[in-house]
A and B are shown apart, each in its own frame.
Chain A
Amino acid sequence: MSATQNKVICVKTVGMDSRKQAVFRMAFKMHTMQRYELAEDAIGMKPDLAIVDMDCVDGNLLWENHGSENPDLPTLIVSMISLPDAPVPVLVKPVRIETLFPLLRQVLSERTTPGRQNPPQSPPQSPPLQVVQNAQPELASQPVPSSVNAPSSQPAMQKMPEQVGRFDPTRGLLGTLQEILQAKRPSMVMIANQNSLIVFPEQERVMVLQDLTQLKNACENEGVIITTRALQKEDKPDNRNIVVSNFVGLLWQVAIWTSRGRLPDGIPVHAPVKLKYWPNLTRMAPIPNALRMAAFLVRSPSSLPVAVRMLNVPPANLFDFLSAAYSIGLLDVIESRREAAETPPVEPVLVKDEAKGGMLSRLLRRIVGL
């Protein structure tokens, strides 16, 4: 029921030194509901797919060896240049989160393997020109995660904690990123004096220069010193060693790392809160029960105790979700005292599921189990 129980997809790398691997290790920590790990980190696991880096002197030879040793292993190529004749999908550097994960999914579902190469001049995407019977995609045999949202199957009734932990969202890495967003100035963020992030607020893009564990660490330890400066000409990063992400996705992730089950100052416990609109949950770092919390809070304002009771979700999940939604500007706090005193009950559901003999519950169970 939680995001952590997803089957890990083990990724073999070919043609990469530790610096190149670090880029993927970094990327795999972000914005994905499916967990990927480098084979080096997933001891004892058989690789589910391979990523071959062609940017080395003997790239072609590496590719041939990889193909003959692993003809059936779904494979993705990464390269500085586009390779229109490649028999498997190609990711052109720099590694962009939004491109990487869809391509990995494509590689897994279409099983683009070196062994099943079409003649190299025809890329794999073009479908046949007649009647098509879409076969069930074989999503690489993994029991796929229901991470965004397994329904809360915990039988125990969830309650608000007596004491709600708090953090100041204007401080630390989260606060720094918010400031940059507001100032709309391209900036370098340094964590403990190391260049860590290049942020282009207007383009909503971030280049991550450091291992993400450093970012996470900075969120967890208030003592870590975070500074910023204006971007300079010399700050041109080496495209081979960075991950590019969208800013909103990074803010969401940083908020979760910062929150750790606490609430930002600024969200009162008893004032109703409401979601402006749904976050793009398929492309954000997962929070257990996020789908049901979004569905609930987008519908009508609710105070936190009511939300916990109605949804029966662990308060820590709710607080992480609120922190993340708040950080990307999606949360409205309804301040009026009168409204706050009496939270309106939740809207009636469109259809009472019992009347349907629990069909919706059955369907949910079926979908989660797919």
Chain B
Amino acid sequence: MRKLDNKIIFTGPVGAGKTTAIGAISDIPPVTTDANASDMTLNRKGYTTVAMDYGLLHLDDGSKVHLYGTPGQERFDFMWEILSNGAIGLILLLDNSRQNPEKDMEFFLDAFKDMLKGAPVVIGVTKTDLKPTPTAGTYARMLEKMGMRPPIFEIDGRSREDVKNLVMAMLFSIDPGLEG
């Protein structure tokens, strides 16, 4: 049996909505180390997370669940593994408006493959309001071919309801009979 730290990892490419999604459910405003992106990446938005995001959920017995967001840029990927060790699960956010979100998905699933041997992944496809395709079904069929059947939903990173559903799907993937 895996030893669990009380933490959930949010990952995904630059601008996918990781910082926003953590903010949507965290008890505290996310602690983030965003920096002006103009000098470091061809980012379409003006800022990016350079270290990691941190959010927090207090549980009713006084314990805490930590929410970590990985920096989107690949040059920080050495941090990912350390961060993900012992996590409850991985929330992968894909920005549908990027050039090749299918490839992003493959890249991140590969980067976290060791973690995913023992922990569930759920996938949230963001910015479908800006670009509706690929649809969630298209990704799901791709994943099925790779032998994976994780929860995959279209979400809006700014919607607490959507982010809640991702976390609940993650918990039910661990145990569908889980009672709240």
Contacts and interface: CB of A to CB of B under 8 A. Distances in A.
Interface of A: 33-34, 98-99, 102-103, 105-106, 109-110, 127-137, 139, 144-146, 148-153, 246, 248, 275-278, 280-283, 291-296, 298-299, 310-312, 346, 349-353, 355-357, 359-368, 370
Nearest to A299: B176
Given A294-B151, A352-B1, A362-B60, A129 B47 contact: yes
Nearest to A106: B158
Contacts of B164: 144, 146, 367-368, 370
27 contacts: A34-B161, A98-B128, A99-B129, A103-B129, A105-B159, A109-B159, A134-B30, A137-B23, A139-B161, A144-B161, A149-B172, A151-B179, A276-B144, A277-B141, A278-B149, A280-B137, A280-B140, A280-B152, A280-B153, A291-B172, A294-B151, A299-B173, A346-B176, A360-B171, A364-B180, A365-B60, A370-B25
Nearest to B132: A98
B177 A292 contact: yes
Q: Contact residue range for chain B?
A: 35 or more
A49 to B, nearest CB: 14
A147 to B, nearest CB: 8
Nearest to B47: A132
A360 B136 CA distance: 27
B143 interface: yes
B41 interface: no
B51 interface: no
Interface in B133-180: 135-137, 140-141, 143-144, 149-156, 158-162, 164-165, 167-169, 171-180
Contacts of B174: 349-351, 353, 360
B65 interface: yes
A134 B20 contact: yes
Interface string B42-60: 0001110000000001111
Interface string B1-14: 11010100000000
A102 B155 CA distance: 9
A94 to B, nearest CB: 15
B56 to A, nearest CB: 11
B79 interface: no
A51 B2 CA distance: 50
Contacts of B128: 98, 102
Given A145-B161, A356-B4, A362-B61, 5 more contacts: A98-B128, A144-B164, A281-B165, A353-B175, A362-B63
A295 B151 contact: yes
Interface stretch (B32-40, B70-78, B99-107): B32-40
Which 3 A-B pairs have CB atoms at the shortest separation, nearest pair first?
Answer: A295-B172, A296-B176, A280-B136
Contacts, number: 221
A351 B6 CA distance: 13
Interface centre among B46, B151, B169, B180 (most CB of A within 10 A): B180
Contacts of B156: 102, 105-106
A33 B65 contact: no
B154 A283 contact: yes
A292 B173 CA distance: 8
Contacts of A294: 151, 169, 172
A291 B144 contact: no
A351 B151 CA distance: 18
A360 B178 contact: yes
B24 interface: yes
B68 to A, nearest CB: 15
A268 B81 CA distance: 45
A295 B173 CA distance: 5
Contacts of B155: 282
Given A281-B165, A292-B172, A353-B175, A363 B57 contact: yes
A310 B36 CA distance: 51
Interface in B103-138: 118-120, 128-129, 132, 135-137
B26 interface: yes
Interface centre among B2, B119, B156, B173 (most CB of A within 10 A): B173
Contacts of B22: 134
Contacts of A283: 136, 153-154
A37 B47 CA distance: 37
Contacts of A356: 4
Contacts of A139: 24, 159-161
